[in-house]
Structure 1
């Protein structure tokens, strides 16, 4: 039963509007990638076209894999039509349709009185809508760090190293940045909304500070990796590989148990290790003060080393970019991002036992409410 006094456990009209906005941005993001790939193809830049489409395809395959796996787990039977939809990469659209269907019923057709509990049917509808949004937020988070972030690095690199630019490139970069920042905040909101034992992420100041922390730290790191790519693609590959190796070691050490099957768990751990290349991700319900501190100390040291190396090797850039301005942007966004992180944890972080980005956590007295609650079980 849902308690009307606890409105954070109800699917509201605002939540429904966010679902609609999510569909629009999801389609726009895909459209931007296809647009820029088409332009590269028309210009005879087949390498850039292939890399752009490869990133899109690989991320979509992973998203379809998890989406179909979750459908099978939820229904405990093989659904042929669901399998067919996912084969044609329609998994996210299927989930958005479910969220719209139950979200509309919950937000516009279910009525709850001030001093009465709403009925069992309404409770189920609200819960189903919230669970659907939670699943979508997790899938979009996976898509963000498998597609949008690599796409950002690729497109910025192309802009830095080419003598011409196109509107499609800037549009793709803007959409990728929007996808990265919004999906991380959306995941945090969905996580807390779906777990009744957690304080909710409702204050606007909390959301803005959290968004700035993610946006600025990600911007600094993305530009740093791009600078290394301009200097040497081999060194950039080694740098990313080292961070991925560190991420996979940390993930294995945590002994995650997110998926029921071994194969799916391997894919999940690989995805999480890729996310850890770009941002901190708490994959267990443990205190994150020390891991978070270590993560961003390493990030600061790595960024500083990159900037120093670039200034020493500035002749290697051959005037391709205004190096001084770029290094100032990287340093400025990193400092502001770390400051936003400190402000968020000091003043705005909801008071609870686990910090943000919780995916896999220690078992508590929490009820199994949705998939995210399963993620926070050991």
Structure 2
């Protein structure tokens, strides 16, 4: 909650600084990224509340809708996460072999599900606001020689936000799915470095294209979004209950796929992820070759050398971490497959609830 509030403050601080300097377009872009991400996360948050509270008091839902309308719905989710978390932490169980019907186990599941929902919304915010803002800040630093403290503060907050949202979501998601194995500490670090480095390399590449031509950069991003959106359509995702929300979800996933691979069906993705990062590698190297042989005057040679080295280094290290993670540190490589529960072992109604859960057929790799 503290990070969420500080992040809002940093956004308005940076936007106001640009506005005072007369850079109105940059200020507006930062606020637009903030507004768009907030709007979409509030929509998903309210829809999830409506689905979870189906058949309950309509007055309660109206109050929740009003809070989300004023862009404060995330605080309700933090409140429920804290409430269920405290109840689960201090609930005393009479037996060590508690069944699924035990109230303490149910409360613990509620707490995990509440945190998973929050982290899913944070993933949306990461790719709708944090990464676009990071791209904008890096582009501004590359285009202008003068730098200010608030620019570095925004970049540092962006990297922190990306790291936290990536690993927190992956951990909470695996806790919410009984058939998924949990992360080890080394796996968490490897996963974060793989994501951060590959995303950083791609952002630097897109920044170089933008320096060359804003129009080409926009066309490339739109083309990549269309490819990602088309792929989600072919996957026939079933994450949301309503068709409208499902298309909104696919639209958001298309944006996420511009910057990082996203497994939306919980299936093996060796071929898909190989094609994805092979394509990113080819595009990144092509951009660097264009700059190397063309040598446009819009960027200094020293600046390009530094950016080029950082781009290649982050790309190579990111791919190394990716291969190492999936080869040796992915939970499926060091955990034995868990035996499926027999029909008689399940509590009545549990099987149906497992089928209808939002995250039962979903896993971000």
The verdict on a shared fold, with TM-score over 0.5 as the criterion, is yes
Indicate the residue corresponding to 1:361 in structure 2.
Answer: none
| Count of residue pairs the alignment pairs up | 341
**Is the partner of 2:359 in helix, strand or coil?**
helix
Indicate the residue corresponding to 1:16 in structure 2.
Answer: none
Indicate the residue corresponding to 1:164 in structure 2.
Answer: 146
**Is the partner of 1:367 in helix, strand or coil?**
helix
Indicate the residue corresponding to 2:336 in structure 1.
Answer: none
Matches within 5 A, 1:170-181: 170-181=152-163
Matches within 5 A, 1:217-232: 217-232=198-213
Indicate the residue corresponding to 1:56 in structure 2.
Answer: 34
CA displacement at 1:187 relative to structure 2: 1.3
CA 1:188–1:366 in 2, change beyond 3 Å: closer, same or farther?
farther
Q: TM-score, normalising length from structure 2?
A: 0.89
Unaligned segments of structure 1, at least 5 residues: 1-22, 353-363
Matched, 1:339 2:320: yes
**Is the partner of 1:316 in helix, strand or coil?**
coil
CA displacement at 1:99 relative to structure 2: 0.5
Matched, 1:300 2:278: no
Unaligned segments of structure 2, at least 5 residues: 334-350
CA displacement at 1:34 relative to structure 2: 1.1
Matched, 1:182 2:164: yes
**Further displaced range: 112-121 or 209-218:** 112-121
For the aligned residues, what is the CA RMSD? 2.0
CA displacement at 1:257 relative to structure 2: 1.3
Q: TM-score, normalising length from structure 1?
A: 0.86
Contact 1:251 1:272 in 2 (8 A): yes
**Further displaced range: 316-325 or 152-161:** 316-325
Contact 2:163 2:192 in 1 (8 A): yes
Contact 1:194 1:369 in 2 (8 A): no
Matched, 1:95 2:77: yes
Matches within 5 A, 1:226-305: 226-305=207-286
Contact 1:134 1:190 in 2 (8 A): yes
Q: Distance in 2 between matches of 1:278 and 1:205?
A: 24
CA displacement at 1:369 relative to structure 2: 7.9
**Further displaced range: 28-37 or 329-338:** 28-37
Indicate the residue corresponding to 1:373 in structure 2.
Answer: 360
Q: Distance in 1 between matches of 2:264 and 2:40?
A: 19
CA displacement at 1:270 relative to structure 2: 0.2
CA displacement at 1:374 relative to structure 2: 6.0
One of 4, 23, 26 as aligned partner of 2:4: 26
CA displacement at 1:321 relative to structure 2: 6.3
Indicate the residue corresponding to 2:345 in structure 1.
Answer: none
One of 7, 11, 15 as aligned partner of 1:37: 15
Q: Distance in 1 between matches of 2:10 and 2:355?
A: 38
Indicate the residue corresponding to 2:341 in structure 1.
Answer: none
Q: Distance in 1 between matches of 2:299 and 2:44?
A: 44
CA 1:103–1:115 in 2, change beyond 3 Å: closer, same or farther?
closer
Q: Deviations over 1:6-51 (max 9, x none)?
A: xxxxxxxxxxxxxxxxx22222222211110111122222111111
Q: Distance in 1 between matches of 2:103 and 2:218?
A: 53
CA 1:321–1:230 in 2, change beyond 3 Å: closer, same or farther?
farther
Indicate the residue corresponding to 1:150 in structure 2.
Answer: 132
Q: Distance in 2 between matches of 1:69 and 1:365?
A: 20
One of 106, 122, 146 as aligned partner of 1:140: 122
Q: Distance in 1 between matches of 2:193 and 2:78?
A: 27
Indicate the residue corresponding to 2:331 in structure 1.
Answer: 350
Q: Distance in 2 between matches of 1:338 and 1:55?
A: 29
CA 1:114–1:174 in 2, change beyond 3 Å: closer, same or farther?
farther
Contact 2:263 2:362 in 1 (8 A): no
